[in-house]
Amino acid sequence: MNLAIRDIRHHWGRFVLTCLGLSLLLGVVISMIGIYRGLVADALVLVRAPAVDLWVVEGGTKGPFAEASRIPRDTRNAVARIDGIASAGMVTYQSMQIETAKGVARVLVVGFEPGRPGGPAVLAAGRTLERSHFEMVADIKTGLELGQLIRLGNDDYRVVGLTRGQVDSGGNPLIYLSLQDAQALQFELEGAAARNQAARGERANTNQVNAVLATIHADADLDSVARSVSRWKHLSALTQADQEAMLLSAVVDKARKQIGMFTVTLLTVSTVIIALIVHTMTLDKAREIATLKLIGAPDRTILALIIQQALAMGVISFSLGATLITLAADRFPRRVIVEAPDIAMLAAAVGVVCVIASLAGVRHALSIDPAQALGG
């Protein structure tokens, strides 16, 4: 006869309510890990989107995401001539706000040369840029639709293609413009400011880009090609793997630590709460435990009663929390990725937490004197 299940069945309303409360707390723990996974995925989307092998950036920098990078436009032709390079293209990156039907949206504008590396490798709908001006490819997250016209700066742009899930490390969706349009947006000034610039005899410097992206031939050695580029002291060549590692360490590392500490704090809070609940449940059963001891129940029966209840509470609450977060993941403003290995690891952690949390209850139960069952 399983006493833990009988007790839960008898107090099912209280038990279910307790599990519901606990499931929300454990759901937050799961979502924390999901948010971190989403953060990593979002950060990598940006560097994986163009599907290139080599990133050529300003020498001595970790550009263009971890640090600022500016290199001359003619770098693209120089890189393209290196043995082993299949193709090369210039790119620029800039953040801006756009007006959409849903309101103001913050986006990362990627300027690239149509037909060269730097544009979106995969489209969800439509086509990539075919003209040098006034076309854009936008991520679905912007809320823009195919064929829609949108005002950027002084010009209207038509959405010709859509991507899915392409965001920067801040979760802002990407939009792709031609390099010329992106640079025009970057340096174009409003009326009075433009006249002032003209009066000073100054011109916007569109002779620089943030990086040159390159693909290599299948039989070329990536490290060797990178070394060839790096011989120019004013340039650095980062492989795709370098760029991903750098982005993760520079952009995501603090967030990872922050979320990690928050997760540990929440697990600690969960432990304390489960311990309090189990201890209260044990106090409520003091007379029954004394009676069980008096009629001959060994300690293992009493321990099983308490630990099994704590584990049942943990398992049910965790399952509810995991289901809730899995179902609600798409409703979070930022990407939340709930992965099976994380769920399994956290489930094991919750199991340990439940056992640790039940120790206070176990200690109290073992100290109950069977004589308490006698008398009023």
Of the ranges 7-15, 74-82, 204-212, 322-330, which one interacts with another protein (CB under 8 A)?
A: 7-15
Q: Which is nearer to another protein, 19 or 322 (CB)?
A: 19
**Segment interacting with another protein, rule: CB under 8 A, options 2-10, 116-124, 159-167, 171-179:** 2-10
Rounded to a whole number of angstroms, the minimum distance from the CB of residue 11 to another protein is: 7
Judged by CB under 8 A, the chain residues 277 through 316 that form the site for another protein are 287-288, 291-298, 301
Q: Would you say 99 or 284 has its CB closer to another protein?
A: 284
Of 8-27, which residues contact another protein (CB under 8 A)?
Answer: 9-11
Check if the beta carbon of residue 78 is closer than 8 Å to that of residue 91.
Answer: no
Min dist CB 303 to another protein, Å, is 14
CB of 1 to another protein, least distance (A): 5
Residue nearer to another protein on the CB measure, 205 or 367 = 367
Q: Which of 261, 272, 276, 374 binds another protein (CB under 8 A)?
A: 374
Residue span 116-135 as binding mask against another protein, x where in contact by CB under 8 A, dash where not = --------------------
Binding positions for another protein, 255-274, rule CB under 8 A: none
Compute the least distance from the CB of residue 376 to another protein, in Å: 6
Q: Which is nearer to another protein, 11 or 37 (CB)?
A: 11
Tokens read off for 349: 């952690």
> Would you say 186 or 372 has its CB closer to another protein?
372
From 72, 126, 351, 370, residue interacting with another protein (rule: CB under 8 A) = 370
CB neighbours (10 Å) of residue 316?
Answer: 18
Q: Which two tokens stand for residue 43?
A: 């950060």
- Encoded one letter per residue, x for contact with another protein by CB under 8 A and - for no contact, window 170-189 reads --------------------
Residues near another protein, by CB under 8 A: 1, 3, 6-7, 9-11, 287-288, 291-298, 301, 369-371, 373-376
